[in-house]
Amino acid sequence: MLSEHANKLCHQRGQSLVEAVVVLPIMLLFALLLAQVLYLWWAQQTLFVASQYAARVGAINHGKKRPMRVTLAATMASLTPKDKDIESWQNILKAVAAQQLHGLQFSEIDIVQPTEAMVNQFKERRYNNESQNWIEEIPVDHYWARRQSAENEEAYVSATTLKIEVTWCIELKIPIADKVLAALAPKVSRCQLAQQITGSPFWPLTATAEHRMLSGYR
């Protein structure tokens, strides 16, 4: 009787040990994956906002990419961990500088609209008093008058609406989870290049945004 009871206890302990060996690593992997996915979700929401800001800045600055990149990086700076040992304004400058560098290397802004065909259809040659030279742009002054007098109003509206697509490669930093997600990540050349340069895995975040042009598109 005692022997049977002892054998049963040993069997239960052995079973518990096997379950622990199998279940605990799975639970750990799940926890790490959850933490990484939550960070990616937060970063994606930040990119949505940053893209909207970038599109507005682009609409004000003739569709130029450089001001859009600066705005994009400044907004994405909220993802950079803060250093408790330095002042808040220094933290902000440090974060913005870090994301500016990251953005130059590992992000991309593509202008989806207006297309080259739209530019060719609606561009006008005019003299720029500020730079004192002749330029070509899709004009937006007297917008409503131009829109109503256009042969194809819908085409004019599309040509005077800046639409961008942003790709931001974000580093996967959580151990184990980074390897798993890297294997599942969509293949984006910019992020693959980032991985080759740094040796770290990246995940591509994408967002689109649009804004009516507030200056002539050049």
- The pLDDT assigned to 85 comes to 54
Whether residue 187 is contained in a domain is answered as yes
Range of the domain at 75: 2-212
Q: Is residue 218 part of a domain?
A: no
- What confidence score (pLDDT) does residue 2 get? 45
Task: Give me the residue label for tokens 């004009």.
Answer: 139
Band (pLDDT 50/70/90 cuts) for residue 83 is low
When mean pLDDT is compared across 85-89, 90-94, 106-110, 115-119, the lowest value belongs to: 85-89
What local confidence, expressed as pLDDT, does residue 139 receive?
94
**For the chain, what is the domain count?**
1
Question: How far is it, in rounded angstroms, from Cα 161 to Cα 176?
Answer: 43
Query: Beta partners for 127?
Result: 134
Task: Output the pLDDT for position 16.
Answer: 59
Q: Is residue 72 part of a domain?
A: yes
Give me the mean pLDDT over the 93-113 stretch.
Answer: 82
Task: Give the pTM.
Answer: 0.81
In a domain, 217, yes or no: no
pLDDT of residue 31: 93
Q: What is the pLDDT of residues 29-78, one digit of tens each?
A: 899 999 999 999 999 999 999 999 999 999 999 999 999 999 999 898 88
pLDDT of residue 17: 59
The identity of residue 201, as a single letter, is P
Averaged confidence pLDDT in the chain: 86
With respect to residue 205, please indicate whether it lies within any of the assigned structural domains: yes
Task: Give domain status of residue 134, yes or no.
Answer: yes
pLDDT in tens, 202-211: 999 999 999 9
Integer Cα distance of 163 and 158 in angstroms: 9
Q: Residue range 132-143: average pLDDT?
A: 93
Residue 86 counted as domain residue: yes
Q: Is residue 140 in a domain?
A: yes
Lowest mean pLDDT among 90-104, 112-126, 129-143: 90-104
